[in-house]
Amino acid sequence: MIGRTFVSLTTSAMIVGAQQTVRIEVRDDAGMPVPYALVAPMNGASQVANDSGVVSFRMKAADSLNLRVRRIGYREQFGWVVRIGENLYRVTLPRVAAVLGTVDVTAPGSASNTPLAQRGFYDRLDRVQRGAILGDFLTPEELDVRAAATVTRMLAGSRYAKVTTMPSSRGRGTLVVVGRAGCPMTILLDGQVVRGTVQDVAVSETPTSINPGGTRQTGVSFNDTTTSIDDVVDGRSVMAIEVYPSTANAPAELQRLSGRGSCGIVALWTGARR
């Protein structure tokens, strides 16, 4: 499926012959590393480079690789990249010129010190890519390509979440995000549980046989509200998404934030996609 970050490569071209660790460096036109660039071999699954602009694949090395490399703020590169060392390739992403107003610099910074990096997004993505935890990640680059206007549309195609309709007495259904077991997932917005939506009520009222941590909300039912996650979160403000199939196997820092529910976590992060 398009626009998803996976852990393994499965194309036949990569399986044929001896596989090796192939390193790809992503640099800008000044020779500086481009952190967290999205790198995808032709017909292969994408991975995200680390904070030094380096990503590794297990695949058959060749004199050149056909790659697609994207990072918001840089010109996308798509084509053949020549090997420059032993199993080492380098891609150059020219910066996209932008005219800025006067800027006062008050503290030193680095290209890798982005808001998402500060929130631990890329650290958790690295753990997924190494196979330490299970999760789906939608990076800013992937969301930019999808151009979906709502959260529920952004989640279309996720391995661990699907969108269903919760019946309502008011004559129209409300969209709810559910996990693989069919029970509602906890949704975090910038580290806080989204409250007061049908999604939140559904998590609270999940039977204890499915969700031992669930807590029924007094005086609130599906008949009293038709507010969906799309009504309270503007999809255009979402810069990245994490999806975990099980709360118990999610990163500890997100488990603490979710507080309740065992059907998985969807973590939304808002801000500029950069």
Would you say residue 186 lies in a domain? yes
CATH of the domain at 46: 2.60.40.10
Q: What is the pTM of this model?
A: 0.77
169 plus 45 within the same structural domain: no
256 plus 221 within the same structural domain: yes
At residue 98, the pLDDT reads 60
Domain boundary among 93, 126, 152: 93
Full residue range of the structural domain in which residue 29 is found:
12-93
Task: Quick: pLDDT tens for 76-85.
Answer: 999 999 999 9
144 plus 210 within the same structural domain: yes
CATH of the domain at 143: 2.170.130.10
Would you say residue 39 lies in a domain? yes
Would you say residue 2 lies in a domain? no
Token pair of 90, please? Answer: 């380098």
Would you say residue 142 lies in a domain? yes
Cα–Cα dist 118/115, whole Å: 5
At residue 126, the pLDDT reads 94
74 plus 197 within the same structural domain: no
152 plus 232 within the same structural domain: yes
| Residues 263/184, Cβ–Cβ less than 8 Å | yes
Q: Work out the pLDDT band at 174, boundaries 50, 70, 90.
A: confident
How many structural domains comprise the chain?
Answer: 2
35 vs 167, higher pLDDT: 35
Would you say residue 125 lies in a domain? yes
At residue 6, the pLDDT reads 38
Among 16-30, 219-233, 235-249, the minimum mean pLDDT is found in 219-233
Taking 60 as the threshold, does the pLDDT of residue 208 lie above it? no
Mean pLDDT of the chain: 81
Token pair of 97, please? Answer: 């010129």
254 plus 121 within the same structural domain: yes
Token pair of 28, please? Answer: 């800008």
238 plus 158 within the same structural domain: yes
Domain boundary among 46, 62, 93: 93
Tell me the mean pLDDT in the region 82-106. Answer: 78
Tell me the mean pLDDT in the region 17-39. Answer: 91
Q: Work out the pLDDT band at 60, boundaries 50, 70, 90.
A: confident
